Amino acid sequence: MRKTAKRWLKRILWLGVMLLAACAAWFVGYGFTDLAIGKPLQFSVKHGSSLRSAARQMQAAGVIHSPRQFELLARIFGDANRVQAGNYEIGGPLTPFALLRKMTSGDRSQDQITFVEGWTFGQMRALLDAHAAVRHDTQGITESEIVTRLGISYASAEGLFFPDTYYFTNGTSDIAILQRAYRAMQSQLDSLWNARARGLPLANPYQALILASLIEKETGQPGERAMIAAVFLNRLKFGMRLQTDPTVIYGLGAQFDGDLRKRDLLADGPFNTYTREGLPPTPIAMPSASALAAALNPAPGKALYFVARGDGTSYFSATLAEHERAVTKYQKRGKR
């Protein structure tokens, strides 16, 4: 019996040694062998991700091939809860062990987010909500609640944020990013308002912001912004309706299917500039700095109409008769 027990003990010990040797071989073979990364790449780990979720995101980005092996490596080193969310850059070959050290030490690239000129506040929110490195403090709350948290006196958040690229550290609140974009817009607007042309039919900087958003959405060529601004401002001076399609489209919201119909132009609403005089109640998008500049320093001239030529540019007219001829020439309907 004793010999049999010793024999089994030796077998168990030998099996243990073999298992340890196999684990050591795997550890060296996997942990210290360069990953098959053929070129520099960037990847993100979403905020709040578990180790398993982070490993799967890395696999999807082409960083690792086996999420389970990377997860096991992290657990062996006690790093299951230390992998940090954010953006990462890999400049060349590295081992899974080096990758793990990188992701637990906070060796991330600086995070950034870009708000594009012409975007609505809804598009901004969608981008913020989807960003892996942003702390989502506004997710699920209403626009009016966001405005209140930002300490803004306007009822709507539309158009109040400056389109630009903003850099931030991982875990920064979306509220903080919105505050920076709001301050940037106010700075731009205040500076341009103080240097505005004389005699503009604009009562305050907010009206200039509204007008700039219309110019942004109507612009086909950047060089035409000042001329489009002149048309709108001349119309305001003469008490003419602005008759601009983007305001109607904005008012339709989710109902707009890509085709603006006659009935849409006839249906009255606060954003229908075909049925109502003056500016709409709020901006309809984020205007660029050049659109703001055009709104406050328009091109000289008496133009009251413009029609698309079909090549991305517009033809500007000072009289209705000239405009109608241009509409016929360029085969447009002439709704302005």
HEC letters along 215-244: HHHHCCCHHHHHHHHHHHHHHHHHCCCCCC
Using N-to-C axis directions, what is the helix angle for 174-194 and 205-218, rounded to 10°? 100
Q: 3-state class of 168 per DSSP?
A: strand
Buried b (16+ CB within 10 A) or exposed e, 80-90: eeebbbbbbeb
In whole angstroms, what is the distance from residue 290 CA to residue 213 CA? 11
In whole angstroms, what is the distance from residue 69 CA to residue 33 CA? 13
Looking at domain 32-104, its CATH architecture is: 2-Layer Sandwich (3.30)
Do residues 277 and 241 touch, judged by C-beta distance below 8 A? yes
Whole-model pTM: value is: 0.72
Strand partners, 155: none
Residue 17 one-letter amino acid: V
Residue 118 has φ and ψ, to the nearest 5°, of 90, -10
Task: Give 84's DSSP letter.
Answer: P
Residue spans of the domains in the chain: they are 32-104, 111-189, 198-330
CB atoms within 10 A of CB 261: 12
Q: What is the pLDDT of residue 336?
A: 45
- Per-residue model confidence as pLDDT tens for the chain (336 residues): 566 666 656 666 656 555 555 555 555 557 778 887 767 777 878 877 899 999 999 888 888 888 898 998 889 888 889 888 877 888 778 888 888 888 888 777 778 899 999 999 999 999 999 998 899 999 889 999 999 999 998 989 999 999 999 988 878 899 999 999 999 999 999 999 999 999 999 999 999 999 999 999 998 888 999 999 999 999 999 999 999 999 999 999 888 888 889 999 999 999 999 999 999 999 999 999 999 999 999 999 999 999 888 888 898 999 999 998 989 888 654 444
In whole angstroms, what is the distance from residue 223 CA to residue 241 CA? 24
Do residues 284 and 250 touch, judged by C-beta distance below 8 A? yes
Q: What is the pLDDT of residue 188?
A: 93
Which residue, among 143, 122, 317, 306, has the nearest Cα to 228 in the 3D structure?
306
Residue 99 one-letter amino acid: L
How many helical (H) and strand (E) elements, i.e. helices and strands, does the chain have? 13, 6
Interstrand relation of 86-90 and 41-45 (parallel, antiparallel or unpaired): antiparallel
